[in-house]
Amino acid sequence: MIKLNEHNIESFIRENRDKFGVYRPRRKHRQKFYFKLETRIKHYYNIVPYLLKVAVITLIIFSASVLVWNNYIRKDRHDITLENKIGLVISKMTGQ
């Protein structure tokens, strides 16, 4: 029995190089190979549509929470804002 090692395999390939490209597989060999390959490989799902749905829902919830906080929960919502103060100063300066 021949012991196989890296040197023996390389020398065998070099000596028989012309025999390696000649063999043609049988008909439907490729289809059988692909079928077996598909059954062994796990199928991965595309999660991009799910991520987009999550992003849209997150934006909706965030916007709704900001609106609720601003209109109902914020303690100083009835106080005068900087924008209102500037408007009052401008209206006093123009005499309206």
Give the pLDDT confidence of 36-48 residue by residue, as tens digits: 888 887 777 889 9
Number of H helices and E strands in the chain, helices first, is 4, 0
Of 49-53, 55-59, 72-76, 83-87, the range with the lowest mean pLDDT is: 72-76
pTM: 0.42
**Of 21 and 45, the one with more pLDDT:** 45
pLDDT over 90 (residue 52): yes
How is the chain split into domains, by residue range?
48-94
Q: What integer pLDDT is reported at residue 54 of this predicted model?
A: 98
Task: For residues 5-21, give the mean pLDDT.
Answer: 82
**CA-to-CA distance for 48 and 88, rounded, in angstroms?**
50
